[in-house]
A and B are shown apart, each in its own frame.
Chain A
Amino acid sequence: MANTMPIEYYQQLEEIQAVDFVIDELVLYLDTHPTDQNAIQQYNHFALYSKQIKQKFEESYGPLQKGSVNIRQDYWAWSGPWPWQV
């Protein structure tokens, strides 16, 4: 099962991981600095960007989370592969 996905899968996933890491850091920072307007602005910027790149990823590789559209009509793409299989 290892490394069976196309190179674009890993590239796009890594960008999502990087952007979501920025969000993770901003969220924890904002939890203890809830009135920092600059951080809120950064958070909103990356929250929107994350949504966009996830939507693009999901169009090719299926839903990242429940509630996302399953583009393919003939296959339930949630079925795999799972994070420990790629």
Chain B
Amino acid sequence: MRSPAPFPQRGEEIVWIYEKKLQYPVKVSTCNPTLAKYLVEQYGGADGELAAALRYLNQRYTIPDKVIGLLTDIGTEEFAHLEMIATMIYKLTKDAKPQALKEAGLGEHYVQHDSALFYNNAAGVPFSATYFQAKGDPIADLYEDIAAEEKARATYQWIIDMSDDPDLNDSLRYLREREIVHSQRFREAVEILKDERDRQKIF
């Protein structure tokens, strides 16, 4: 049985509404295109924020009702993270001259895109829908979601290890912690569905 729909709250309308703010402040200490090159892994990489948002929002249509809200809210939050990553990349590269981009390994990027952002990973491979699945099996989909969060958490850690920008690392640590929270919520969702499945077997 469906539970009655709650009255809509601000920001939870049936369409996506852009809010003109970041979820968490983003400051960068200095122009640093090398760091931007690494960060783009979380922009257009396999375990990045775009893949996460598209994966969760797409799974909602065939997942049991009890998990739709969670996928909607986490999927939407991933777009907020995407905006934070884009802000970091933009701020780290906006004052970089072509020569500085070249020295950071972004010469090829400059030739293709000037200073524009592009959905590719840290090695320059363009984004692909093959980075995620939709299996229709709720447990299989949720296990993929948990794995995705753990991989994203690990990626944030590796970027923090490579970074010498204390301001940026503050924002990166925030994003790393969000991956942990999301992973834990997805684990709860698995338990909710298992409980429901077991109840159906008994009665």
Q: Which of A16, A31, A51, A67 contacts B73 (CB 8 A)?
A: A31
Q: A25-B181, A84-B90 are in contact. Are A50 and B10 (CB under 8 A)?
A: yes
Given the complex of chains A and B, what is the CA–CA distance between A29 and B181 in angstroms?
10
Give the A-B pair count, Cβ closer than 8 A: 64
Q: Mark A25-36, 1 if CB is under 8 A from B, else 0.
A: 101110110100
Task: Give the Cβ gap from A9 to chain B, nearest Cβ, in Å.
Answer: 11
Given the complex of chains A and B, what is the CA–CA distance between A65 and B15 in angstroms?
13
Given the complex of chains A and B, what is the CA–CA distance between A65 and B21 in angstroms?
9
Interface residue tally for chain B (C-beta within 8 Å): 30
Give chain B residues whose Cβ lies under 8 Å from the Cβ of A27. 73
B116 at the interface (CB under 8 A from A): no
Tell whether, in the assembled complex, residue B10 and residue A14 are in contact, meaning their CB atoms are under 8 Å apart.
no
Interface residue tally for chain A (C-beta within 8 Å): 27
Tell whether, in the assembled complex, residue A64 and residue B19 are in contact, meaning their CB atoms are under 8 Å apart.
yes
User: Which residues from 1 to 52 on chain A have a C-beta closer than 8 Å to any C-beta of chain B?
Assistant: 2, 13-14, 16-17, 20-21, 24-25, 27-29, 31-32, 34, 47, 50-51
Give chain B residues whose Cβ lies under 8 Å from the Cβ of A64. 19-21
Given the complex of chains A and B, what is the CA–CA distance between A24 and B20 in angstroms?
16
B128 at the interface (CB under 8 A from A): no
Given the complex of chains A and B, what is the CA–CA distance between A13 and B20 in angstroms?
10
B189 at the interface (CB under 8 A from A): yes
Tell whether, in the assembled complex, residue B73 and residue A21 are in contact, meaning their CB atoms are under 8 Å apart.
no
